[in-house]
Structure 1
Amino acid sequence: MSSAYSIWPVILVPYNMPPWSGMKQSSFILSMIIPGEKSPANDIDIYLKPLIHELQYLCQGVQCYDAVSGENFMMRAALLWTINDFPAYGMLSGWNTKGRFACSCCAHNTESLWLYKSKKFAYLGHRCWHSSSHLFRKPKQYFDNIYELRSVPSRISGSKICTEL
């Protein structure tokens, strides 16, 4: 936390190999390092643009040569998912991960509670994602002194997200 410099590595992991060899450090591909005094914040898309263009190009397919079989083949690549910390998640998704509506799953139905002494938000409404018979739904004394009676929030459709944007 006291460091005056920040480095954000972008690492690609191939998933067409067995886990015992694909998850070794020697298989990781360090595609870029984003340097700076602070996090890239909203400019992360500028840094990732060349990588995105290459992945789009590889998604269409590139003619490659297989030295073992001696034949050409069409190589394709796709981004399956990203693994990142919460601040990077906010930058990549465009969702504000601070404040009253920090949960991207609950969106505007986020149950948040302002803690006056610590001057922070607490998010206690995630018990609604458990089944109605789950043990965590009942004991109100361990949470915020309320029984969790809400049902699982419905997923937001793509058209609703576009409308909000």
Structure 2
Amino acid sequence: MFILGLNCPRDAIDTYLQPLIEELKELWEVDIETYDASTKQNFKLHASFLWTINDFPAYGNLSGWSTKGKLACPCCNKDTASIRLANDKEQCFMGH
């Protein structure tokens, strides 16, 4: 699902994900009888959500991690090596 531009949910992405999460919880906890056409047999289906593919700002929205400022790297955390550039006042992350 792509929601681009001015209509993107920004920090309210959880309102879009909540119905998906509820349905996936149900599919994980309560198996669903499903038909497999290749084997012509029914089986019990469980489902899970493994990962997302997104850019860095979307990662911040989904995870709740602040992706702005000098501690923006979620892997490095307090050991993030960053400097503030003098001319454009942007953070520059070193060693990545």
- 2:86 aligns with 116
Query: Separation in 1 of the partners of 2:21 and 2:46?
Result: 14
- 1:40 aligns with 9
For structure 1, list consecutive stretches of 5 or more residues without a partner in the other structure.
1-8, 10-32, 127-165
Residues 90 and 109 from structure 1, CA distance in 2 versus in 1: closer, same or farther, beyond 3 angstroms?
same
Q: Is residue 56 of structure 2 the alignment partner of residue 91 of structure 1?
A: no
- 2:20 aligns with 51
Q: CA deviation at 1:69?
A: 3.1
| Amino acid corresponding to residue 117 of structure 1 in structure 2 | N
Q: Which TM-score applies when normalising by structure 1?
A: 0.52
Query: Separation in 2 of the partners of 1:48 and 1:74?
Result: 25
| Amino acid corresponding to residue 47 of structure 1 in structure 2 | Y
Q: CA deviation at 1:67?
A: 3.3
| Amino acid corresponding to residue 41 of structure 1 in structure 2 | R
For structure 2, list consecutive stretches of 5 or more residues without a partner in the other structure.
none
Tell me, yes or no, if the aligned pair for 1:34 and 1:47 is still in contact at 8 Å: no
Q: CA deviation at 1:109?
A: 1.7
Let me know the Cα RMSD of the aligned residues.
Answer: 1.9
In terms of Rg, which structure is larger?
A: 1
Q: Which TM-score applies when normalising by structure 2?
A: 0.84
